[in-house]
């Protein structure tokens, strides 16, 4: 039986494994991908100070440190069930059944699909798939592409594709519908982009964005937003055009687009065809929580965190004994925040398993590091992250109080 099993070999999982191993706890990490690193493997971007964040290099450093400490990695393994049995967790994988005293779920996030007519054609993929193809496997997704969905994630990956020499013809919105919702609303999309306007590569864009403080100024800006879009890193970002359909006989040949008004409604007689040989669909991210649901965790829907998240404490503990969570399963944030959360989870696990209070000081420092990392984050995927975190932590405290009352009644 293992001391700790970690599901997910991404930034949170590996960081937690390192902390546990340093404390003398035996750790095994499983992941369905063929190599450890998770979302770090696809990341490459320039920081505001001019330095480069290279996710592959960061992953290699973490993996090397973990292996030197004796952490065991088992890759290409999927977990399909888990349950608490006595004083241990039994985790069922496609390879074997693993027993562990403590279990950390660091399963990360998944991409939200935006159904568009023609999206089953070869050459259509999620924006994350294009990132992995380019940055991890060194395979071009195509020669000339269109990105459908303008958000923080797609903008960052578009830059990575451009750096790799992949031509992005343009980024534009999906046609507004009950399914696409805010993703097809030019005003809502503009709001999300203004939150990261300080990272715009052009002084003109930063200056113009700074003027859009009021709703009236935002609407004015949209009204005169050029149909050809503003170029960001040479890529036209078009908020007044939407993709109606992806076309092609046997593979992607292009997209049918239409001009849209300020509210996202199509303008008559403006349809036209744009040639492309691949299309990326970008619907955003949501926490990957299926295993937490199988375990029996309580959940709370928190829009600021990207969807349903398992209720947990700031120390990454859930309401189930020996079960912890860290990383994007707890809410959509950066890889750096996930790494810091993994350290918190590692100290919490070591503290419980070893029955010692000697980790109080490093645990407190790790908690402070999470908050500092969050405050310094250049990009926040959703506004109001702190508010969302407070909701979850308050829900955990309420759960603790209710459990305490139940125990008091039973003893009485």
pLDDT for residue 290 is more than 60: yes
Res. 75 pLDDT band, cuts 50 70 90 = very high
- In the chain, what percentage of residues exceed pLDDT 90? 67
Domain edge (last residue) among 283, 305, 333: 283
Two tokens, residue 150 = 């303008």
So what's the pLDDT on residue 281?
96
In a domain, 252, yes or no: yes
- pTM for the model stands at 0.89
pLDDT for residue 5 is more than 90: yes
Query: Greater confidence, 203 or 132?
Result: 132
In a domain, 293, yes or no: yes
Distance between CA 68 and CA 86 in Å, rounded? Answer: 32
Same domain, 58 and 86: yes
Cβ contacts of residue 322 below 8 Å, gap of 6+? 84, 88, 89, 101, 102, 103, 352
Domain edge (last residue) among 245, 262, 283: 283
Q: If you ran DSSP here, which 8-state letter would residue 176 be given?
A: P
Give CA angle at 177 (157, 116), nearest 5°: 55
Same domain, 249 and 306: no
Same domain, 74 and 210: no
In a domain, 118, yes or no: no
The residue count for the chain: 412
Q: In terms of C-beta distances under 8 Å and separation of at least 24 residues, what long-range contacts does 226-233 make, across chains too?
A: 227/259, 229/170, 229/171, 229/172, 230/205, 232/155, 232/158, 232/200, 232/201, 232/202, 232/205, 233/158, 233/159, 233/162, 233/201
pLDDT for residue 222 is more than 80: no
In a domain, 119, yes or no: no
Q: Which residues pair with 266 in a beta bridge?
A: 260
Same domain, 101 and 128: no
Query: What stretches of 168-263 show up as alpha helix (H) in DSSP?
Result: 186-194, 203-210, 215-223
Same domain, 345 and 363: yes
So what's the pLDDT on residue 401?
83
Q: How far is CA 220 from the centre of its chain?
A: 32
Same domain, 263 and 171: yes
So what's the pLDDT on residue 72?
97
Same domain, 143 and 267: yes
pLDDT digits (tens, 9 = 90+) for 95-151: 999 999 999 999 999 998 889 999 999 999 999 999 999 988 889 999 999 999 998
**Structural domain of residue 62, as residue ranges?**
2-111+286-411
| CATH code of the domain in which 162 resides | 3.50.50.60
Same domain, 393 and 360: yes
So what's the pLDDT on residue 412?
40
Please give the average per-residue pLDDT across 366-387, as a whole number.
Answer: 87
So what's the pLDDT on residue 100?
97
So what's the pLDDT on residue 407?
41
So what's the pLDDT on residue 408?
38
Q: If you ran DSSP here, which 8-state letter would residue 135 be given?
A: I
So what's the pLDDT on residue 196?
55
Same domain, 321 and 371: yes
CA distances from 300 to 108, 129, 391, 405 (A): 17, 29, 9, 22
Same domain, 236 and 135: yes
Please give the average per-residue pLDDT across 261-269, as a whole number.
Answer: 92
Residue with token string 């568009």: 116
pLDDT for residue 204 is more than 50: no
Domain edge (last residue) among 220, 251, 283: 283
Please give the average per-residue pLDDT across 207-225, as a whole number.
Answer: 62
Compute the mean pLDDT over every residue in the chain, rounded to the nearest whole number. Answer: 89
Considering its fold, how many domains does the chain have in total? 2
So what's the pLDDT on residue 404?
59
Closest CA to 8 of 348, 288, 300: 288
pLDDT for residue 202 is more than 70: no
Same domain, 398 and 314: yes
Please give the average per-residue pLDDT across 65-76, as a whole number.
Answer: 97
Same domain, 10 and 43: yes
CA dihedral 318→320→324→326, nearest 10 degrees, is -40
Res. 410 pLDDT band, cuts 50 70 90 = very low
In a domain, 117, yes or no: no
In a domain, 380, yes or no: yes
Q: How far is CA 138 from the centre of its chain?
A: 22
Res. 212 pLDDT band, cuts 50 70 90 = low
Distance between CA 285 and CA 387 in Å, rounded? Answer: 19
- Least confident span in 91-95, 287-291, 398-402: 398-402
What is the phi/psi pair of residue 199, to 5°? -95, 0
In a domain, 116, yes or no: no
Distance between CA 277 and CA 251 in Å, rounded? Answer: 8
Please give the average per-residue pLDDT across 36-61, as a whole number.
Answer: 84
In a domain, 137, yes or no: yes
How far is the first Cα of the chain from the last one, in angstroms, to the nearest whole number? 37
Res. 348 pLDDT band, cuts 50 70 90 = very high
pLDDT for residue 198 is more than 50: no
So what's the pLDDT on residue 209?
55
Please give the average per-residue pLDDT across 156-182, as a whole number.
Answer: 90
């Amino acid at each position: 039986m293992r001391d700790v099993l970690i599901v997910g070999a991404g930034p949170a999982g590996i960081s937690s494994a390192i902390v546990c191993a340093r404390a003398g706890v035996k750790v095994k990490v499983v992941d369905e991908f063929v190599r450890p690193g998770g979302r770090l493997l696809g990341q490459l971007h320039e920081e505001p100070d001019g330095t480069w964040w290279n996710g592959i290099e960061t992953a290699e450093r973490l993996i090397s440190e973990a292996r030197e400490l004796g952490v065991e990695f088992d890759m290409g393994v999927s977990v399909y069930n888990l349950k608490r049995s006595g004083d241990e967790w039994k985790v069922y994988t496609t390879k074997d059944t693993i027993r562990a005293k403590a279990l950390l779920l660091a399963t990360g996030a998944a991409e939200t699909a935006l159904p568009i007519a023609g999206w089953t054609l070869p050459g259509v993929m999620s924006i994350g798939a294009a990132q992995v193809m380019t940055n991890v496997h060194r395979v071009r997704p195509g020669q000339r592409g269109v990105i459908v969905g303008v958000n923080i994630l797609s903008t960052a990956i578009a830059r990575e594709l451009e750096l790799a020499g992949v031509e992005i013809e343009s980024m534009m919105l999906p046609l507004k519908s009950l399914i696409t919702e805010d993703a097809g609303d030019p005003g809502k999309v503009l709001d999300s982009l203004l939150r990261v306007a300080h990272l715009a590569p052009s002084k003109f864009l930063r200056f113009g964005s700074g003027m859009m403080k009021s709703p009236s100024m935002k609407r004015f800006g949209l009204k005169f937003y050029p149909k050809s879009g503003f170029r960001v890193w040479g890529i036209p970002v078009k908020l007044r055009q939407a993709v109606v359909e992806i076309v092609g006989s046997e593979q992607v040949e292009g997209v049918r687009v239409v001009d849209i008004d300020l509210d996202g409604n199509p303008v008559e007689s403006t349809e036209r065809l744009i040639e492309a040989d691949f299309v990326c669909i970008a619907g955003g991210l949501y926490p990957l929580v299926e295993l937490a649901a199988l375990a029996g965790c309580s959940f709370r829907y928190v829009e600021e965190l990207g969807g349903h998240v398992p209720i947990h404490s700031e120390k990454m503990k859930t309401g189930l004994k020996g079960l912890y969570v860290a990383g994007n399963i707890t809410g959509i944030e950066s890889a750096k925040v996930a790494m810091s959360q993994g350290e918190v989870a590692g100290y919490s696990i070591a503290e419980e398993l070893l029955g010692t209070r000697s980790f109080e000081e490093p645990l407190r420092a790790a908690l402070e590091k999470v908050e500092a990392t969050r405050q310094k984050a250049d990009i926040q995927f959703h506004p109001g992250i702190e508010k969302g975190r407070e909701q979850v932590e308050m829900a955990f405290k309420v759960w603790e109080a209710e459990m305490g009352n139940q125990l008091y009644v039973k003893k009485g």
